[in-house]
Structures are given as C-alpha cells and as structure tokens.
Amino acid sequence: MTSPLITPADLAALDGVTVLDVRWRLGGPPGAELYREGHIPGAVYCDLDTDLAGSPGDGGRHPLPEPGAFQDAMRRLGVSDHRPVAVYDDVGSTVAARAWWALRYFGHQDARVLDGGLAAWAGAGLPTTKEAPDPLGHGDFTARPGGMPMLTADEAAALAAEGVLLDARTAERYRGEAEPVDPVAGHIPGAVNAPTTGNVGPDGRFLAPDTLRARFAGLGISEGVEAGAYCGSGVTAAHEVLALEVAGLPTAALYVGSWSGWVADPSRPVATG
C-alpha cells in the first residue's frame, strides 16, 4: 500500500499531482489569507469548514459533508479519481489529516499528507509563490462513501468499553479542566487520552513507525485490538488514524461527530479527571 505520507522532495518530483493547501486556524486568521501570503506552487486552497465538513449541528462542529457536496468541492479543486492528491497545512498535519481521511473515506485511492507540512517544504529549500493557479474545475472525482471505518456515538461508547477509544485533545480538555470551544467539559467515559502532539516531533514530522507503535502499545493498541479516535470536532482525531496507519497498525475508526457531537445530546454521560 502506498505510504500515507510524502516527503517534500518526493512531492516536488511528482508529476500530475493535485496539491491542496488546507491551512486553518480555530478563531482565525482564515486559511485563505495564509494561502494568499504564500503557498506551494500549483496548490489550490481547500477550506475545512466548507469543503471538508457539512453544516454544524447535532452531528458536531465539523460533521461529514454529504457525498454530493464533497464530490462537487473536490471536482472544483481539480481532484480526479486517477490522479494523486497531496495535502498540507502548517500545524503538524492535523488539518491535513482530516483532508486525507475524507478523501480516503469517499474512495480516493492515492491521497497523501506532506510530512512536516509547509515548514518542511520551505526547509528543504523549495519555492513558494503568491500566484494562484488557473481555476481548475476539471476534476472527475466520484465520491464513494465507506472507504474508511467510522463510528456513531453509540459505537464510540461501546468501543471505549470494549476496545480502545483515543481522545486526541489536550490533557486539560480531556480531564475537563478547560473547554474553550464546546459547552460541556470532559470526555467519553472509558476513553484514553492521546494528544496528537505525541505523534510528531519538534519539526512537525511524524515519528518513526517503531516509535509510534511503541506509543500506541502504551495506550493499549496493538495488532488485533479494535481502536477508534475522537477529538473536539473530528479533525485532529483523523491525525490519530493517520498515525496508526504510519505505524503499520490496523486502521482505526473515526468518530466524526466527536466531543461536539457527543455533548449535543445532554443524556450522554460525561467523565472528568
């Protein structure tokens, strides 16, 4: 299977690739502004809120988009079924992981994350530009849902009790000591805290597969153990799924609704500490 990661040198040498810039900040500035300040040549801007998610609601702050909406967005960005896609951000590949996961879920067979993101690209001496490419709008991608495992709220609760459900948020949010975004603090009972910052080194690149396997073994995940992940809104949890794949472990299921979807139903239990 093709690696889910790509190095800057390999991306620079790859012909016929669609590159998506998925930079995003909770609270701003808008990723489109960052894109206009400089991006990888040929990259097009992909917006987390409108291209990679549906409208906020009971399904969480970043629910899965409808297949038709995702297909239209990807075609507008030039994504095609038989052309590789590379995605990048500048925050440790957390948002890029959501783009990778969404492409995989909807059936794209060759989506990869630029390891280390834009900083790694610039650090390799590769150029950036403020020039936007000509409008694409010629992608032929067809959305085929079901390419990656996904959890409902009930399934996430069951997995927390019977397998390993990773909570990708910071320890403070997991313990319920701080909650800057959602109306209730805490975590899904039985979930194990595994902040995504533990998947990458200081340079923002993913840790070596052996190191990641050791990390996940310490969290109770190994071959044969059913695993899943959630976060605040199903974005950084995709980073856990990606890290598990880099480690060579079985694909974990993503609870897309995550904490924002969980607390939308006040009858669901909340754990703290």
Q: Residue 261: which residues within 8 A CB-CB, separation 6 or more? A: 58, 59, 60, 63, 153, 233, 234, 255
Domain spans of the chain, in order of start: 5-123, 153-262
Predicted confidence at residue 67, as pLDDT, reads 98
Task: Give the mean model confidence (pLDDT) for residues 86-91.
Answer: 97
| CATH no. for 5-123 | 3.40.250.10
Q: How confident is the model at residue 26 (pLDDT cuts 50, 70, 90)?
A: confident
SS3 string, the chain, reads CCCCEECHHHHHHCCCCEEEECCCCCCCCCHHHHHHHCECCCCEECCHHHHCCCCCECCECCCCCCHHHHHHHHHHCCCCCCCCEEEECCCCCHHHHHHHHHHHHCCCCCEEEECCHHHHHHHCCCCCECCCCCCCCCCCCCCCCCCCCECCHHHHHHHHHHCEEEECCCHHHHHCCCCCCCCCCCECCCCEECCHHHHECCCCCECCHHHHHHHHHHCCCCCCCCEEEECCCCCCHHHHHHHHHHCCCCCCEECCCHHHHHCCCCCCCCECC
Whether 96 shows a pLDDT value over 90: the answer reads: yes
Whether 171 shows a pLDDT value over 80: the answer reads: yes
Q: Which residues are catalytic?
A: 231
Task: Return the higher-pLDDT residue of 8 and 136.
Answer: 8
Task: Give the mean model confidence (pLDDT) for residues 96-120.
Answer: 98
Structure tokens at 158: 């069951």
Predicted confidence at residue 244, as pLDDT, reads 97
Predicted confidence at residue 1, as pLDDT, reads 52
pLDDT tens digit sequence for 191-211: 999 999 999 999 999 999 999
Predicted confidence at residue 38, as pLDDT, reads 97
Predicted confidence at residue 271, as pLDDT, reads 98
pLDDT tens digit sequence for 63-83: 999 999 999 999 999 999 999
pLDDT tens digit sequence for 120-169: 999 999 999 999 887 666 899 999 999 999 999 999 999 999 999 999 99
Whether 229 shows a pLDDT value over 80: the answer reads: yes
Predicted confidence at residue 137, as pLDDT, reads 66
Percent of the chain whose pLDDT exceeds 90: 93
What is the CATH topology of the domain spanning 153-262?
Oxidized Rhodanese; domain 1 (3.40.250)
